[in-house]
Amino acid sequence: MTAGDAHARARWARRGDIALRVVAAVPLGYATASLWAMAIARLLPGDRAEASVTAALIALALCAIAAMWAFAARSGWRAIWTLATVAGIAAAIAWVSIDATGRL
């Protein structure tokens, strides 16, 4: 393997890492924020409409935080697994809340 081959491999590895970060930032960040909006809206007291608006505003900030985290993580895979885990926690909270109250 020549030096040019090693450089080409490193360049493609970097491009792959950036692609993973974009996937983590855009669709996975949006999904994570949406799941947290659903979980937070179910946990907030008060009127359903007010809880939904408050949760949506919080989720807007979470979406930005998720995108920043995706590009600040050590690797693209770590960004994906971290955001997937955080989304799973939010989904579990929402699921338990729906199961406990029996209403959507």
Handedness of CA 71, 72, 77, 80 (dihedral sign): negative
- Report the distance separating Cα 40 and Cα 55, nearest Å: 6
Asked if the model's pLDDT at residue 69 lies above 80, the reply is: yes
Query: Beta-carbon neighbour count of residue 104 at 10 Å?
Result: 7
Share of the chain above pLDDT 70, in %: 98
Q: What is the pLDDT of residues 20-65, one digit of tens each?
A: 999 999 999 999 999 999 999 999 998 999 999 999 999 999 999 9
pLDDT of residue 7: 82
What global pTM score does this model have? Answer: 0.86
Neighbour-count burial for 70-91, b at 16+ CB within 10 Å, e otherwise? beebeebeebbebbeebbeebb
pLDDT of 81 reads 96
